[in-house]
Structure 1
Amino acid sequence: MELMLDTANIDEITEGIGWLPVSGITTNPTILKRERPADFFAHLKKIKSVCKNICPLHVQVSSGRCDEMLDDAERIIRELGSDTFVKIPVTQDGLAAIKALSATGRHVTATAVYSTVQGALAMMSGANYIAVYYNRIMNIGSDPDRVIRELSGLTASSNGDCKILGASFKNTGQLVAAFVNGAESCTASCDILKSGANFGSVRDAVDAFNRDWKSMYGDKTIAKL
């Protein structure tokens, strides 16, 4: 299992890698728009520095044409390093770009996957990750759990190194469901991950433990007894 942070906010990333087992940072134009970086590559390089190069970046191309996607990919890799995963939307042009990039050993994350056939085509084209849009699939009346299960079965039968990456979550229930149904990796916002660790019942239980401890030993911790 892998967990990634779906954000380009430096403070969130700094906090997140301090308490979470982060395996990567995923970005896209919508996520970057929230930060409005004056210098695109300078901002991403700062993220790499914060991560101390221990978790790779997943950076999305800005064009819909295959030739421009390939140009974007080469610039991304040149600026950020060969360990960067280039995110390519799974369209006809996108599949051509994925095929070309994977043939040269580039790391590719196929994104905007809404269906099993999209994911299967990206897998056969050589993508390393298949980003399945969980909540967006639900919003169009389809079943994201089924898509993840089917793609997970295909990755297992192909004996390849492609991983299913759950994405586009609105709550922790969706995140858990993606893992349960076979996603090897998931990316989520810091707010969603915090809500999984800090909901009311957990805080109530911890507060009760602390009160009981202080009733016996006051403010002394175990280390100070």
Structure 2
Amino acid sequence: MKFFIDTANLAHIKEAYELGVLDGVTTNPSLMAKEGISGHENVINHYKAICEIVDGDVSAEVIATTFEEMVIEGEALAALHPQIVVKVPMIKDGVRAIKYFTSKGIRTNCTLVFSAGQALLAAKAGATYVSPFIGRLDDVSTDGLTLIEDIRTIYDNYGYETQILAASARHPMHIINCAKIGSDVVTAPLSAIVALLKHPLTDNGLAQFLADYAKAAELEAVK
């Protein structure tokens, strides 16, 4: 399973990349605003800066909501860097735009997916990635992981090549469960990714090893 980081924070992206497990980046207007990035030119330059840090795909989201405007904006984003994947909302004109981009060889990420039907349409249109938002479904007492399972079944039934990108993962168990049920990608904040490193028995074991080493060194020094 691929690991993407969901942020616009360059320091977090660099830390995840240096960990050696990062396959790509997803971001959106809300995450850009959180980092104080506003204005078209600043946003464009920020996407370029992200592409300079990582080797993998970087999802850049269109702001437009009409087919014609999405095409113009998406083509401009795709031209920024070979790593850019154009992020398109799951709306009627968005599906049309995905089909258009696919015909032009532009890769896409269909975002704001909350049902298997939406994921099916995205795959039919040729989306490179489909992003079901599991965390937001959990927020409204709906099992987001069940949606991942349903999409996996549908895509496997018909051989769709669209990759399932589990989005809005909030914690390490979201990541683990997505891996268990066959999500191709999961995108999560740095905190959820590094939380996978942690286990109290690992900490206790390391502390014991170091204590035993120190004790042995003391005994050797006494001889």
- In the superposition, the TM-score normalised over structure 1's length comes to 0.89
Tell me the amino acid that sits aligned with residue 70 of structure 1: V
Q: Secondary structure at the residue paired with 2:30?
A: helix
Displacement after TM superposition at 1:71 (Å): 1.3
| Corresponding residue for residue 223 of structure 1 | none
Q: 1:200 to 1:31 in 2, by over 3 A?
A: farther
Asked whether the equivalents of residues 148 and 183 of structure 2 are also in contact (C-alpha less than 8 Å), the reply is yes
Residue 156 of structure 1 pairs with residue 123 of structure 2: no
Tell me the amino acid that sits aligned with residue 33 of structure 1: A
Asked whether the equivalents of residues 89 and 111 of structure 1 are also in contact (C-alpha less than 8 Å), the reply is yes
| Corresponding residue for residue 143 of structure 1 | 143
| Corresponding residue for residue 67 of structure 1 | 68
| Corresponding residue for residue 221 of structure 1 | none
Identical aligned pairs, as a percentage? 24
Q: Secondary structure at the residue paired with 1:58?
A: strand
Displacement after TM superposition at 1:199 (Å): 4.7
Q: Deviation per CA, 1:137-163, whole angstroms, max 9, x where unpaired?
A: 112232212211111122222223211
| Corresponding residue for residue 169 of structure 1 | 169
Displacement after TM superposition at 1:194 (Å): 1.6
Q: 1:213 to 1:152 in 2, by over 3 A?
A: same
| Corresponding residue for residue 51 of structure 2 | 48
Displacement after TM superposition at 1:81 (Å): 2.1
Q: What are the ranges of 5 or more consecutive residues in structure 1 without an aligned counterpart?
A: 219-225
Q: Secondary structure at the residue paired with 1:106?
A: coil
| Corresponding residue for residue 32 of structure 1 | 32
Tell me the amino acid that sits aligned with residue 215 of structure 1: K
Aligned length: 215
CA distance in 2, matches of 1:111, 1:201: 38
Pairing 1:79-118 to 2, within 5 Å after superposition: 80-118=80-118
Asked whether the equivalents of residues 83 and 107 of structure 1 are also in contact (C-alpha less than 8 Å), the reply is no
CA distance in 2, matches of 1:199, 1:94: 42
Tell me the amino acid that sits aligned with residue 118 of structure 1: Q
Asked whether the equivalents of residues 123 and 162 of structure 1 are also in contact (C-alpha less than 8 Å), the reply is yes
What is the Cα-based RMSD across aligned positions, in Å? 1.6
| Corresponding residue for residue 222 of structure 1 | none
Tell me the amino acid that sits aligned with residue 101 of structure 1: F
Q: Secondary structure at the residue paired with 1:4?
A: strand
Q: What are the ranges of 5 or more consecutive residues in structure 2 without an aligned counterpart?
A: 219-223
Displacement after TM superposition at 1:136 (Å): 0.7
CA distance in 2, matches of 1:113, 1:212: 53
Asked whether the equivalents of residues 82 and 106 of structure 1 are also in contact (C-alpha less than 8 Å), the reply is no
CA distance in 1, matches of 2:171, 2:182: 18
Q: Secondary structure at the residue paired with 2:8?
A: coil
Displacement after TM superposition at 1:200 (Å): 4.1
CA distance in 1, matches of 2:70, 2:200: 45
CA distance in 2, matches of 1:165, 1:205: 35
Asked whether the equivalents of residues 123 and 161 of structure 2 are also in contact (C-alpha less than 8 Å), the reply is no
Asked whether the equivalents of residues 48 and 81 of structure 2 are also in contact (C-alpha less than 8 Å), the reply is no
Asked whether the equivalents of residues 3 and 185 of structure 2 are also in contact (C-alpha less than 8 Å), the reply is yes
- In the superposition, the TM-score normalised over structure 2's length comes to 0.90
Displacement after TM superposition at 1:34 (Å): 1.2
Asked whether the equivalents of residues 169 and 186 of structure 2 are also in contact (C-alpha less than 8 Å), the reply is no
Displacement after TM superposition at 1:73 (Å): 0.3
Q: Secondary structure at the residue paired with 1:197?
A: coil
CA distance in 1, matches of 2:25, 2:203: 28
